[in-house]
Protein backbone atom coordinates (compact mmCIF):
# COMPACT_ATOMS: atom_id res chain seq x y z
CA UNK A 1 0.00 0.00 0.00
CA UNK A 2 1.08 3.57 -0.72
CA UNK A 3 0.89 6.58 1.57
CA UNK A 4 1.13 10.21 0.47
CA UNK A 5 1.99 12.83 3.10
CA UNK A 6 1.52 16.44 1.99
CA UNK A 7 3.09 19.52 3.50
CA UNK A 8 0.28 21.97 2.73
CA UNK A 9 2.54 24.89 3.65
CA UNK A 10 5.01 26.43 1.20
CA UNK A 11 7.61 26.42 4.01
CA UNK A 12 9.90 23.42 3.59
CA UNK A 13 11.81 23.73 6.87
CA UNK A 14 9.27 24.70 9.55
CA UNK A 15 7.03 22.93 12.01
CA UNK A 16 4.68 21.61 9.31
CA UNK A 17 7.62 20.10 7.41
CA UNK A 18 8.87 18.52 10.64
CA UNK A 19 5.48 16.89 11.24
CA UNK A 20 5.47 15.63 7.64
CA UNK A 21 8.93 14.15 8.22
CA UNK A 22 7.84 12.37 11.42
CA UNK A 23 4.63 11.04 9.87
CA UNK A 24 6.47 9.86 6.75
CA UNK A 25 9.14 8.08 8.78
CA UNK A 26 6.58 6.41 11.02
CA UNK A 27 4.36 5.29 8.13
CA UNK A 28 7.31 4.03 6.07
CA UNK A 29 7.57 1.01 8.38
CA UNK A 30 4.15 -0.13 7.09
CA UNK A 31 3.70 1.53 3.69
CA UNK A 32 5.57 2.78 0.69
CA UNK A 33 5.55 6.46 1.64
CA UNK A 34 6.00 9.60 -0.43
CA UNK A 35 6.23 13.05 1.17
CA UNK A 36 5.66 16.16 -0.94
CA UNK A 37 5.37 19.89 -0.37
CA UNK A 38 2.61 21.92 -2.02
CA UNK A 39 5.38 24.27 -3.15
CA UNK A 40 6.93 21.43 -5.22
CA UNK A 41 4.19 22.05 -7.80
CA UNK A 42 3.69 25.07 -10.03
CA UNK A 43 0.09 25.67 -11.01
CA UNK A 44 -2.29 28.42 -12.00
CA UNK A 45 -5.27 29.67 -10.04
CA UNK A 46 -8.72 28.42 -10.99
CA UNK A 47 -10.24 30.99 -13.32
CA UNK A 48 -13.82 29.99 -12.56
CA UNK A 49 -14.68 29.16 -16.17
CA UNK A 50 -16.61 26.00 -15.18
CA UNK A 51 -15.44 24.16 -18.29
CA UNK A 52 -14.66 21.24 -16.00
CA UNK A 53 -18.37 20.98 -15.17
CA UNK A 54 -19.01 19.78 -18.72
CA UNK A 55 -15.67 18.19 -19.65
CA UNK A 56 -14.49 16.74 -16.28
CA UNK A 57 -11.11 18.25 -17.12
CA UNK A 58 -9.39 21.52 -16.30
CA UNK A 59 -8.38 23.86 -19.11
CA UNK A 60 -4.94 24.12 -17.46
CA UNK A 61 -2.41 21.29 -17.46
CA UNK A 62 0.29 21.93 -14.92
CA UNK A 63 1.46 20.85 -11.48
CA UNK A 64 -2.08 20.02 -10.36
CA UNK A 65 -2.05 17.11 -12.81
CA UNK A 66 1.19 15.86 -11.26
CA UNK A 67 -0.10 16.15 -7.70
CA UNK A 68 -3.34 14.42 -8.64
CA UNK A 69 -1.23 11.58 -10.08
CA UNK A 70 0.28 11.28 -6.58
CA UNK A 71 -3.24 11.17 -5.12
CA UNK A 72 -4.16 8.43 -7.58
CA UNK A 73 -1.14 6.29 -6.63
CA UNK A 74 -1.86 6.65 -2.90
CA UNK A 75 -4.12 4.46 -0.82
CA UNK A 76 -3.63 6.70 2.21
CA UNK A 77 -3.40 10.50 2.07
CA UNK A 78 -2.29 12.64 5.01
CA UNK A 79 -2.62 16.41 4.62
CA UNK A 80 -0.64 18.41 7.18
CA UNK A 81 -1.63 22.07 7.25
CA UNK A 82 -0.70 25.06 9.37
CA UNK A 83 -3.02 27.93 10.11
CA UNK A 84 -2.65 30.96 7.88
CA UNK A 85 -5.02 33.58 9.27
CA UNK A 86 -7.25 30.89 10.80
CA UNK A 87 -7.49 28.78 7.64
CA UNK A 88 -5.46 26.68 5.23
CA UNK A 89 -2.57 28.33 3.33
CA UNK A 90 -3.49 30.01 0.04
CA UNK A 91 -1.36 27.61 -2.00
CA UNK A 92 -3.31 24.64 -0.65
CA UNK A 93 -6.63 26.43 -1.19
CA UNK A 94 -5.63 27.14 -4.79
CA UNK A 95 -4.86 23.46 -5.28
CA UNK A 96 -8.25 22.49 -3.84
CA UNK A 97 -9.99 24.96 -6.16
CA UNK A 98 -8.25 23.38 -9.12
CA UNK A 99 -9.51 19.92 -8.09
CA UNK A 100 -13.04 20.89 -9.15
CA UNK A 101 -12.91 18.46 -12.12
CA UNK A 102 -12.79 15.68 -9.48
CA UNK A 103 -15.64 17.13 -7.41
CA UNK A 104 -18.57 14.76 -7.02
CA UNK A 105 -21.16 17.57 -7.01
CA UNK A 106 -21.45 17.76 -10.79
CA UNK A 107 -21.57 15.35 -13.72
CA UNK A 108 -19.50 14.47 -15.49
CA UNK A 109 -16.55 14.48 -13.10
CA UNK A 110 -13.20 12.76 -13.00
CA UNK A 111 -12.62 10.46 -10.10
CA UNK A 112 -9.85 8.84 -8.18
CA UNK A 113 -9.80 5.10 -7.73
CA UNK A 114 -12.02 4.06 -4.80
CA UNK A 115 -11.24 3.11 -1.19
CA UNK A 116 -8.72 5.84 -0.40
CA UNK A 117 -8.34 6.82 3.26
CA UNK A 118 -7.67 10.40 4.31
CA UNK A 119 -6.19 11.86 7.47
CA UNK A 120 -5.85 15.50 8.49
CA UNK A 121 -3.32 17.16 10.78
CA UNK A 122 -3.60 20.86 11.60
CA UNK A 123 -1.28 23.03 13.63
CA UNK A 124 -1.39 26.57 14.86
CA UNK A 125 0.66 28.87 17.03
CA UNK A 126 -2.12 29.90 19.42
CA UNK A 127 -3.77 27.92 22.22
CA UNK A 128 -7.36 27.53 20.93
CA UNK A 129 -8.43 24.40 19.06
CA UNK A 130 -11.05 26.29 17.00
CA UNK A 131 -8.61 27.16 14.22
CA UNK A 132 -7.37 23.58 14.02
CA UNK A 133 -10.96 22.36 13.77
CA UNK A 134 -11.61 24.82 10.93
CA UNK A 135 -8.52 23.66 9.01
CA UNK A 136 -9.38 20.00 9.56
CA UNK A 137 -12.92 20.77 8.41
CA UNK A 138 -11.57 22.26 5.16
CA UNK A 139 -9.41 19.19 4.55
CA UNK A 140 -12.24 16.78 5.34
CA UNK A 141 -14.62 18.75 3.10
CA UNK A 142 -12.07 18.45 0.29
CA UNK A 143 -11.69 14.71 0.92
CA UNK A 144 -15.45 14.27 0.88
CA UNK A 145 -15.85 15.78 -2.57
CA UNK A 146 -13.07 13.53 -3.87
CA UNK A 147 -14.74 10.54 -2.17
CA UNK A 148 -11.75 9.94 0.08
CA UNK A 149 -12.92 8.44 3.37
CA UNK A 150 -12.03 10.63 6.37
CA UNK A 151 -10.44 8.30 8.90
CA UNK A 152 -8.51 10.36 11.42
CA UNK A 153 -7.61 13.85 12.56
CA UNK A 154 -5.20 15.62 14.85
CA UNK A 155 -5.11 19.25 15.96
CA UNK A 156 -1.93 20.64 17.50
CA UNK A 157 -2.06 24.01 19.24
CA UNK A 158 0.83 26.15 20.47
CA UNK A 159 3.21 24.91 17.76
CA UNK A 160 5.00 27.82 16.16
CA UNK A 161 8.49 26.56 15.47
CA UNK A 162 9.96 23.25 14.42
CA UNK A 163 11.46 22.75 17.89
CA UNK A 164 7.97 22.68 19.48
CA UNK A 165 7.06 19.57 17.48
CA UNK A 166 9.37 17.43 19.66
CA UNK A 167 6.97 17.86 22.60
CA UNK A 168 4.06 16.60 20.45
CA UNK A 169 5.65 13.49 18.97
CA UNK A 170 3.58 11.10 21.10
CA UNK A 171 0.31 12.54 19.73
CA UNK A 172 1.64 12.43 16.18
CA UNK A 173 2.86 8.84 16.53
CA UNK A 174 -0.46 7.82 18.10
CA UNK A 175 -2.30 9.00 14.99
CA UNK A 176 0.27 7.30 12.73
CA UNK A 177 -0.15 4.03 14.57
CA UNK A 178 -3.89 4.14 13.83
CA UNK A 179 -3.25 4.55 10.09
Under DSSP, the state recorded for 60 is: -
% of the chain at pLDDT higher than 90: 99
Task: Identify the pLDDT of residue 72.
Answer: 98
Q: What mean pLDDT is reported for the chain?
A: 97
Mean pLDDT calculated for residue range 129-139: 97
Domain boundary assignment for the chain: 2-177
Task: Identify the pLDDT of residue 30.
Answer: 97
Residues with Cβ within 8 Å of 79's Cβ and at least 6 positions away in sequence, in order, are: 6, 8, 92, 118, 119, 120, 121, 139, 142
Mean pLDDT calculated for residue range 105-113: 94
| Percent of the chain that is helix, strand, coil (3-state, to 5) | 40, 20, 40
pLDDT digits (tens, 9 = 90+) for 34-45: 999 999 999 999
As a CATH number, domain 2-177 is 3.40.50.360
Query: Mapping DSSP to helix (H, G, I), strand (E, B) and coil, where does residue 171 land?
Result: helix
Amino acid sequence: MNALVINCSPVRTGATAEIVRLVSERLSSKYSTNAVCIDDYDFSFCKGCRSCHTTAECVYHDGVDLLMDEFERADIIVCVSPSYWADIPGQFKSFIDRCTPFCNTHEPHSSLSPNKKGYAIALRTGPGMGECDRIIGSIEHFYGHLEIECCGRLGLCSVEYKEAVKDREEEIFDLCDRI
